Structure 1
Amino acid sequence: MNERTARRATLRWLTAALVATLAACGGSGGGNGAVWTPVQNSTPADPGQIPMPLAAIQIRTTSNRADLVSGGDVTLEVVLPSGAQASTLKVAVGGRDVSDAFATAADGRITGYVSGLVDGENVVSASASGARAASLAVTNHPRGGPVLSGPQITPFFCATPQPQAATSSTPATAPSGLGTVAVDAQCNIATEFKLYYKSTAANCALGLPDPFPAVNFAATTPPALPAPNSNNCFKPYDPAAPRPGDLATTTTDAGATVPFIVRVERGTLNRGIYDIATLFDPTRDWTARSPQPQWSGKVYYPFGADTGQPRRQVRPATNWPTGADVIGRGYLWVANSMTDSGANSNRLVMAETVMMMKEHIAETYGPIRYTIATGCSGGAINSNVANSLAPGLLDGVIVTCTFPDQETTGIEVSDCAWLVEAYAKPAWSALMAGLTPAQIDARKGAINGHPDASACNAWFNAFGGVSKPGIYTTRFVDASGNIATGASTNNCQLPASLVYSPTSNPTGARCSGWDWSASIFGKTADGSRALITRDNEGVQYGLSALLSGAISAEEFVTINEIVGGSNGDYEAQPARSVADSGALGIAYRSGLVASGRQMAGTAMIDLRGYDDSSMPTPGGASSAYPVHHIWRSFSMRERLDKSQGDHGNHVMWRFGRNGLSPSPALQREALDTLDAWLAAVGADTGSAPLAAKVRSHKPAGASDFCLLSSDATQSTRITDMAVCEQDPFLKPSRSPRQVAGGPLAEDILKCALKPMDITRYHGLLTASQQARLAAVFPNGVCDWTRPGIGQQDAISPAFVSREGLRALPPAPASRTN
């Protein structure tokens, strides 16, 4: 399907959904694991009409909104009015009788699971004696997607049962972990189920019992599949064989002790490969209407780290055996590679995939009580942004090494890359002549906002090329502090023949994050590339370092003269970078810039360790890539304060030892605390807004504390934040933009400009330096007291239509026939 056809199709189903809503007299979508709960409508009886007409049946989807269904199946509830005869209920889909799929549950609700939906509109109708018949338009989307995110990017290569080597026109394929090949271009592969049991063996390893190799994407020979570790904790389980003597037991949150047998469902959805792992009793059936009792109804969703946009289908980055603790407690553990940041940096596709996975769970496993997400780094971005894009998608998050979102994280990445390149230029080197390495490092740290230069060097080394759309040679700061070159690569992980080149292949695949998300941002007028938000016009690098005396006036003027920016292909240029204006509003409206207002109803626990520098923390080794800075947690909190007036849904537990990794005990406590928090919120059936419920039901243990770096046992909790701030491994640093005067929220992609005010420099600049600085900023400097260009409230949840990004309309509702 080409882009225009896909967008027209999207518009058609949304128009149909909107028409159904406007004509509605029933309700659809909502509870029992649905992503978004629509407003339920009703038609009051007309007291002037005699005799009174029969009341109408209502039809509701319960696994997702009626216009967002995917995969060809849906769970429905039929609500009969008083006086209607349930025994006469007839339900049909597109004229096909599906009445046998419906039954009355113990709570009196009439529910059913219906499969065989066609792509597009499916009319569900219901009739019964003593009631007016009704119908509901259910719009089904392909299992391979998309639902909300617009046309899928191509080319995209499917995984294979065994890894295959790269050729001149195809990349190396990743092993799928499935026994059959993809059946279509959306990489749909038949679902498989396997049983495993947890062994009682001491010191066993929580590795995959079906391991897969790391794939060298340029290799000409496929890697061999490794043999399973003989000391794996999880081993294949055969229900027809005698029970293994080393079969462990586990006690669930409900207090039931059961054999530790796990069923793993592996399949594909939205072009990603997913794993679902649950405790399972092989002697019993499991249906959505009658789940096995060891499942608590809770979903635990880990998001993978890193960030990238490879054009290949892979397995999830997080392996289900590492979730043994939560699985043993009765959680359903789920991961999909398209919700791993390293495999997919299109955050709308990520949120869409979470929605589709939750729908699948609700339709095949049963109603979801609540969903807890977790992740570090890029995984934390997904944990945070999912609820900014689609409030209510996740009920609670436990994040480590958090970033609020991708778009504003990219500000520091680009600033650091430009600054590192500037520090290597002759003009800066001349100023540093005669200074010691420590003195030079201190100046770089002051401009960067970091304790030293290592953090910006790390951004440069790890992600300096992530915005490159074509083939490029990697550049990195070596051990001597010089910029060196490395291998040739591309961010699509594709053969060179398929990748964009401005000269030899201008129509090839573009591999930047913005191009991967072109369906959201749109493209330039000539269609050559996606619109971008990267911008540093008006940014005065090192401003507060100048005012504090950390750098000289000449150093301040020089760094701003030489820092430059990048063009649309992320090639260095002397001029500053200027964002495409259309991209800025989209980044805010969509929720891609994490919105405190959108996230106010999410219970959040932030486990924050130290990664602001390569210097080692007490009790831990030094970080090779110190980019997960403490100030990011406070940035997220600042956004909540700005939008809500408080951060009552955000808890921060800081620890000053062992780098980024919280102890297993702290992680377990965070899960226990969040579990109790969400249970209390879920039990509140009052009419208060969700954000108010989250704040009023916060457990006593959900409060800020820190563990000082001097505390070798990490056992004394400090609740006086002033004491915490005195610890060098707990105190937040800043970013280059904050040093330039920007806000802690770091949510301004492009600043508004104002004329340069010479009094702002407190007489530190000579007349010549003033003139040089004015030449750098002919249009003015950043006015941080004003909102950013295009900065506005999010309209999310949103969808990509032919006209661009649009707010999702009200949910379709059933209508009286």
Structure 2
Amino acid sequence: MHSRFQRAALFTCAVMAATVLPSGQGAAAEDGPPPAIAIASTPDRGQVSGGDALLRITTTDGHKPVRVEVNGTAADGFRRQPDGTLLGRVTGLKNGKNRITAEAGGRTSARTVTNHRATGPVFSGPRAAPFYCETTAFGLAPAKQPDCAAPTKVSYKYRSKLGTFLPLADPDHRPLDLATATVGGRKVPYVVRIETGTLNRAVYETAALYDGSDPTPLRRTKSWNGRLVYTFGGGCSGGHHQGAQTGGVMNDTFLSRGFAVASSTLNVLETNCSVPLSAETAMMVKEHFVETYGPVKHTIGWGGSGGGIQQYTMADSYPGILDGIIPIVGFPDGFTLEKSMASDCKLLVRHFSRPGNSFTAAQRDAVTGMLQYGSCVGAENIDIRTATKRCDKSIPLTARWHATANPGGVKCTMTEAYANQFGRDPKNGFVRSVLDNVGVQYGLKALNSKKISPAQFVELNASVGGFDEAGTPVAKRSEADPRALKAAYRGDLLNSMRLGLRSTPIIDHRLYADRVPLDVHTAHWSYVTRARLKAANGTSANHVIIESQLALGEQQTADAYVLTSMDRWLTNIAADTSSRSKQTKVIAGKPAGLSDGCYLTPTKRVNARLTYPATGPCADQYPIGADPRLKAGAPLDQTPLKCALKPVDFGDYRVGFSDTERARLRKAFPKGVCDYSRPGPGQDEKPGTWRDYSVR
């Protein structure tokens, strides 16, 4: 569908292609550098997908004719932009390496662009198989393994004056109950164009206000503010299916302000717990969006729980996909969550449930560190280690792993999502694990504060146990595979926060859940993140925490505040053209008035430095707890996956032990206890960005 305006734009573009990019001119070489060729649709690392790319050509003289060629063939369709650069979408790229050249004034530049299939992969490595398709959940045509590809569909919805999104068959029709949105101070019809398709074996969705003409990458639509919000979903599972939901794109907070929204099924961590695969998918979906709508001013990450994990790890390991992040009830990374809550809580809840257990409710709280024991029970229920417990209904029972009947079947643990990073243990066929609790002294702080007895401490640590490769609790403690440990640190999967996050604006939106029964999203994780940022970079000034309650009205108010604050923050950074470091620009660009704070009521927000332990005006309403590893003596930043060990020294304890207890404690820790004053095994590995797991 082409409006009269768009047909005129396309005609203008064609005329400019003939005049700005003439064919066969033999101009003499002139002084000055050759044209610069940049990829505008992806972080400019020379990688694209789907056979096309949006290119930006920059010359020292914006009025000189420029000729662009792709693999020796002239590329037409470039259009001069207000800043003097040329923007154009090239198509027909072959899989693999493509040579792009640009010539102006007799000077030529060239670069190689590597194209990948739209079905992937790009850098995440070999794809999981089998892989079950779910395109019909989105109204797309049925698809087949292994690619699960389906034709793209465009549909429309409008926002009614009653505040609901309703289908709209004809986008040029204006219903009587049509609401308006406000973009740049101008009211526009609240009609939304929704595109649904498949990329990288995921189903993606994009949504943006519709201004009456089809989008083009060469001219921004009048109803789009040039910003993109990329949403991420929670959970954590090993994958093997396409997914039936995205992070969500029909969000009034975003769309009513002119933001476009994008997401995909492989950006929902419950569908796929692999951060490299999520990053790859987000890159490809954003690339397609830019090739459809044009360059974005900045991209804001948004999402809770596992959606926060993806934002934190993606921003650090694959910088450039997201410019600023808003993790909601987030965790620093999946492996920290696994060891410090999901696995520890399962072991502790199991111990406390045994017949004859002597721990009182207050003592259980003291050992787990949480404000209520129910949070640990909820964490225990996450169960991201049992081989098939989290398998999606789309995965047939006959395809799932069974120790004897189907040992080569599908496993659905978090660790399975990292087969390309950690490799498989040839002895059992499971992905190598980084889970480790050797030397962890559960209840150490409760012991030293005399909240539990020496006998209880000894009994707990002698019998807490660990997990086998299938996630079954066993008497032996869990021990990490050395190869997996090194890969986790090297690939920044245990989030170092010293790479991209060093210069990423972060608004940590903490919806307070510490008093919600069985809720695992405890508030102390915001402070674990802050401690790690400060330890890695010497400052956490790019990290703002906003606390609010789960009440709907307060959450909506807080959502709007953090979104508009992040938009202003990123706008300020972009306006800073000084030679200062990016980290300095990020800190200096924080908007006036944006600081830590909390909502005391839906309409009353106070700005106050938030601390751990909690102090100040927010402390009474938002007290902060801990977790089992912190109560076992781990540092607040929780960086070691596996701790260094030292011999048991009874002089380290503030209580006395009987001879029997001493003997039993030594037996419980035959290799020693955690020594957090030294780096753990594997922590000498240097993390790097944009790691390519297709290269072995």
Confirm or deny a common fold (TM above 0.5): yes
The answer on whether the counterparts of 1:609 and 1:662 sit within 8 Å (CA) in structure 2 is: no
Q: 1:559 aligns with which of 448, 460, 474?
A: 460
Tell me, what secondary structure is at the counterpart of 2:101?
strand
- How many angstroms does 1:81 deviate by? 5.9
Residues 54 and 419 of structure 1: is their aligned pair in 2 closer, same or farther, counting only changes over 3 Å? closer
From 69, 72, 89, the counterpart of 1:92:
69
Q: Partner residue of 1:637?
A: 530
Which of 67, 74, 80 is the matching residue for 1:104? 80
Deviation string for 1:304-350 (max 9, x for gaps)?
122223422234344433x1231121111111111111211111111
Match of 1:682 in 2: 574
Letter of the 1:789 partner, please give it.
Answer: P
Q: CA contact under 8 A between 1:718 and 1:724: conserved in structure 2?
A: no
Contact 2:434 2:641 in 1 (8 A): yes
State the shift of 1:393 in Å: 2.3
Tell whether the 8 Å contact from 1:90 to 1:97 is kept in structure 2 after alignment. Answer: yes
Give yes or no for contact 2:39–2:46 (8 Å, CA) kept in 1.
no
Q: How does 1:190-209 map to 2 (within 5 A)?
A: 190-200=151-161, 202=162, 204-205=163-164
Tell me the equivalent position of 2:18: none
Q: Check 1:106–1:666 CA distance in 2 against 1; reply closer, same or farther (3 A cut).
A: closer
Match of 1:468 in 2: 386
Residue 176 of structure 2 aligns with which residue?
245
* Deviation by residue 1:240-278 (Cα, 9 ceiling, x = unmatched): 65x3222222211x1121111111111111111111111
SS across alignment from 1:799: coil
Over 3 Å counting, the alpha-carbon distance change for 1:605 and 1:127 in structure 2 is closer
- Tell me the equivalent position of 2:17: none
One-letter identity of the residue aligned with 1:76:
L
SS, match of residue 375 in structure 1 = strand
Query: Partner residue of 2:342?
Result: 413
Structure 1 residue 344 corresponds to structure 2 residue 272: yes
- The alignment status of 1:442 with 2:358, answered yes or no, reads no
Instruction: Please identify, of 790-799 and 752-761, the stretch whose mean Cα deviation from structure 2 is larger.
Output: 790-799
TM-aligned CA distance change 1:638 to 1:85, over 3 Å: closer
Which residue of structure 1 aligns with residue 167 of structure 2? 235
Q: Deviations over 1:150-203 (max 9, x none)?
A: 011110011243xxxxxxxxxxxxx2322x233662111111111222222x3x
**Aligned mates of 1:294, 1:250 — CA distance in 2:** 9
Highest relative contact order (Cα 8 Å, sep 6+), 1 or 2?
Answer: 1
Cα 1:317/1:357, change in 2 over 3 Å: closer
Three-state SS of the structure 2 residue aligned to 1:600 is helix
Distance in structure 2 (CA, Å) of the matches to 1:120 and 1:150: 16
Aligned counterparts of 2:361 and 2:529: Cα–Cα separation in 1? 29
Aligned match of 1:455: 375
Query: Which residue number in structure 1 is paired with residue 482 of structure 2?
Result: 581
Find the counterpart in structure 1 of residue 443 from structure 2.
542
In structure 1, what is the equivalent of residue 134 of structure 2? Answer: 159
User: What number of residue pairs does the alignment pair up?
Assistant: 661
CA 1:398/1:780 → structure 2, altered by over 3 Å: closer, same or farther?
same
Contact in 2 for aligned 1:275/1:316 (Cα 8 Å): no
| Match of residue 218 from structure 2 | 289
Deviation at 1:798, TM superposition (A): 1.1
Query: Residue 610 of structure 1 contacts residue 660 of structure 1 at CA under 8 Å; is this kept in 2?
Result: no
The 1:410–1:197 alpha-carbon spacing in structure 2 relative to 1, beyond 3 Å, is same
Given the superposition, is the C-alpha separation of residues 75 and 183 from structure 1 closer, same or farther in structure 2, using an over 3 Å criterion? farther
Say whether the 8 Å CA contact 1:265–1:277 is kept in structure 2.
yes
Question: What is the CA distance between 1:400 and its match in structure 2?
Answer: 2.1
Quick check: 107-116 or 306-315, which moved more? 306-315
Cα distance in 2 for residues equivalent to 1:184 and 1:737: 42
CA spacing shift, 1:520–1:608, aligned 2, 3 Å: same
Deviation sequence 1:98-128 (CA, Å, 0-9, x none): 2x22233333212321111121112223345
CA change 1:760–1:367 in 2 (3 A) is: same
The answer as to 2:264 corresponding to 1:264 is no
Amino acid at match of 2:190: F
Counterpart CA distance in 1 for 2:492 and 2:167 is: 43
Secondary structure in structure 2 of the residue aligned to 1:387: helix
How far, CA to CA, are the matches of 2:144 and 2:186 in structure 1? Answer: 41
Taking the aligned partners of 2:67 and 2:615, their CA distance within structure 1 comes to 68
Q: Which blocks of at least 5 consecutive residues in structure 2 are unaligned? A: 1-28
Alpha-carbon distance in 2 for matches of 1:52, 1:109 = 19
Superposition deviation, residue 725 in structure 1: 7.7
Q: 1:425 aligns with which of 354, 358, 363?
A: 354
> In 2 relative to 1, CA 742–550 (structure 1 residues): closer, same or farther, beyond 3 Å?
same
Task: State TM-score, norm by structure 2.
Answer: 0.90
Counterparts in 2 of 1:315 and 1:763: CA distance versus 1, 3 Å? closer
One of 604, 623, 626 as aligned partner of 2:506: 604
**Match of residue 274 from structure 1:** 204
Q: Are the aligned partners of 2:79 and 2:218 in contact in 1 as well (CA < 8 Å)?
A: no
Which residue of the other structure, out of 119, 123, 128, is the alignment partner of 1:144? 119
Partner of 2:525: helix, strand, or coil? helix
Deviations 1:10-57 (A, max 9, x none): xxxxxxxxxxxxxxxxxxxxxxxxxxxxxxxxxxxxxxxxx9998544
Tell me the CA shift for residue 526 of structure 1.
Answer: 5.0
Distance 1:718 1:108 in 2: 43
* Preserved contact between residue 262 and residue 277 of structure 1 (Cα < 8 Å): yes
Query: 2:264, 2:316 → 1: CA distance?
Result: 20
Decide which of 383, 386, 393 is 2:321's aligned counterpart.
393
CA distance 1:237–1:324, shift in 2 (3 Å): farther
Q: Is the 8 A contact 1:304 1:379 kept in 2?
A: yes
- Evaluate the alpha carbon distance shift between residue 626 and residue 183 of structure 1 in structure 2; reply closer, same or farther with a 3 A threshold: closer
1:659 to partner: Cα distance: 6.7
Structure 2 Cα separation of the partners of residues 309 and 612 of structure 1: 27
Q: Secondary structure at the match of 1:320?
A: coil
- Inter-partner Cα distance in structure 2 for 1:725 and 1:780: 42
Provide the rounded CA distance (Å) in 2 between the counterparts of 1:508 and 1:756.
42
- Separation in structure 1 between the aligned mates of residue 443 and residue 33 of structure 2, nearest angstrom: 70
How far, CA to CA, are the matches of 1:696 and 1:546 in structure 2? 45
In structure 1, distance between residues paired with 2:687 and 2:438: 24
Query: Among residues 584, 600, 608, which one is paired with 1:719 in the alignment?
Result: 608
Q: Does 1:189 align with 2:81?
A: no
Match for 2:419 among 491, 514, 518? 518
Kept in 2, the 8 Å contact 1:388–1:592? The answer is no
Structure 1 residues 519 and 236: alpha-carbon distance in aligned structure 2, compared to 1, 3 A threshold: same
Secondary structure of 1:372's counterpart equals strand
Q: Write the distance in 1 (CA, Å) between the matches of 2:545 and 2:237.
A: 28
1:453-509 Cα deviation digits (max 9, x unpaired)? 212111122x12x21224x5xxxxxxxxxxxxxxxx746852222122222222112
Task: State the alpha-carbon separation in 1 of the partners of residues 149 and 279 from structure 2.
Answer: 19
Partners of 2:373 and 2:517 in 1: CA distance = 13
Secondary structure of 1:663's counterpart equals helix
- Answer yes or no: is 1:330 the counterpart of 2:258: yes
Using the alignment, how far apart are the partners of 2:494 and 2:480 within structure 1? 15
Structure 1 residues 356 and 75: alpha-carbon distance in aligned structure 2, compared to 1, 3 A threshold: same
SS of the residue 2:68 aligns to: strand
**SS of aligned partner of 2:692:** strand
Which residue of structure 1 aligns with residue 50 of structure 2?
71
Structure 1 position 797, deviation (Å): 2.0
CA distance in 1, matches of 2:159, 2:422: 46
C-alpha change, 1:508 and 1:731, in structure 2 (3 Å) is same
Q: Cα distance 1:320–1:737, how it changes in 2: closer, same or farther (>3 A)?
A: same
Match of 1:700 in 2: 592
What is the aligned-residue identity percentage? 34
How far the C-alpha of 1:86 sits from its partner, in A, is 4.0
Report how far residue 564 of structure 1 moved. 0.6
Q: CA RMSD in A?
A: 2.4
| CA–CA separation in structure 2 for the residues paired with 1:78 and 1:527 | 53
How far apart in 1 are the matches of 2:589 and 2:481?
A: 43
What is the CA distance between 1:730 and its match in structure 2? 1.6
